[in-house]
């Protein structure tokens, strides 16, 4: 008799439960929408601005998509395509009543871009949303997510998505 005790993915070194999420049938997932105002906590509390989508984008997500932290690519209007991390869920630390999709873009912008069009491509899944006993612990977790995203997006498979047609700026006819 063969008992499979701890099956690990050699590549990701993740337990099996995590693999099913990192290899989600929904990825890559492309989203587009306007950047709207949130609660203003990203920059103020966390030192990490997150561009929020309106409710209609949140409601367009596949119903079975796992909430949590994703990494991928982002483009504001017709600008360059940058690395990003996105949090999808209810932010248990803040106990939000409404699900949100918020994207932190790893690029220094000269100012806010509320009202702009934001395209994102979710490439991979990092972890589920967690509650934390302090704001500092949440900030540390986000810093680690950003480092993990930076690294994962260097993989050739991830890089091909940076130049996907979705981000091509077609001239208006």
Binding site for ligand ADP (CB under 6 A): 35, 37-44, 49-52, 104-105, 107, 109, 112-114
- Give catalytic residues, as residue numbers: 102
The 10 Å CB-count burial string (b at 16+, else e) for 112-146 is ebeeeebbbbbbbbbbebeeeeeeeebeebbeebb
Q: Which is nearer to ligand RBF, 43 or 78 (CB)?
A: 43
Binders of Mg ion in range 13-42 (CB under 5 A): 38, 42
Angle 101-104-110 from CA coordinates, rounded to 5°: 130
Q: Which is nearer to ligand RBF, 15 or 128 (CB)?
A: 128
What is the rounded distance in angstroms from the CA atom of residue 126 to the CA atom of residue 149?
8
74 binding ligand RBF? (CB under 6 A) = no
Angle 52-95-100 from CA coordinates, rounded to 5°: 20
Pair of tokens at residue 21: 């999420």
54 binding Mg ion? (CB under 5 A) = no
The footprint of ligand RBF (CB under 6 A) covers 38-39, 41-42, 46, 48, 50, 69, 85, 87, 91-94, 102, 104, 129-130, 141-142, 145
| Footprint of Mg ion (CB under 5 A) | 38, 42, 50, 52, 102
């Amino acid at each position: 008799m063969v008992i499979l005790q701890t099956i690990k993915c050699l590549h990701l070194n993740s337990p099996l439960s995590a693999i099913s999420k990192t290899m989600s049938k929904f990825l890559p997932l492309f989203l587009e929408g306007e950047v709207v105002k949130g609660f203003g906590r990203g920059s103020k509390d966390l030192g990490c601005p997150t561009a929020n989508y309106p409710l209609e984008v949140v409601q367009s997500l596949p119903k079975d998509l796992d909430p949590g932290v994703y990494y991928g690519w982002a483009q504001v209007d017709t600008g360059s395509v940058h690395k990003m991390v996105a949090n999808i869920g209810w932010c248990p630390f803040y106990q939000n009543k409404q699900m949100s999709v918020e994207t932190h873009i790893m690029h220094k912008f000269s100012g806010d871009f509320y009202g702009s069009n934001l395209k994102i491509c979710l490439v991979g899944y990092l972890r589920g949303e967690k509650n934390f006993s302090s704001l500092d612990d949440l900030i540390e977790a986000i810093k680690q997510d950003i480092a993990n995203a930076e690294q994962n997006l260097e993989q050739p498979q991830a890089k091909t998505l940076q130049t996907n047609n979705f981000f091509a700026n077609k001239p208006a006819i």
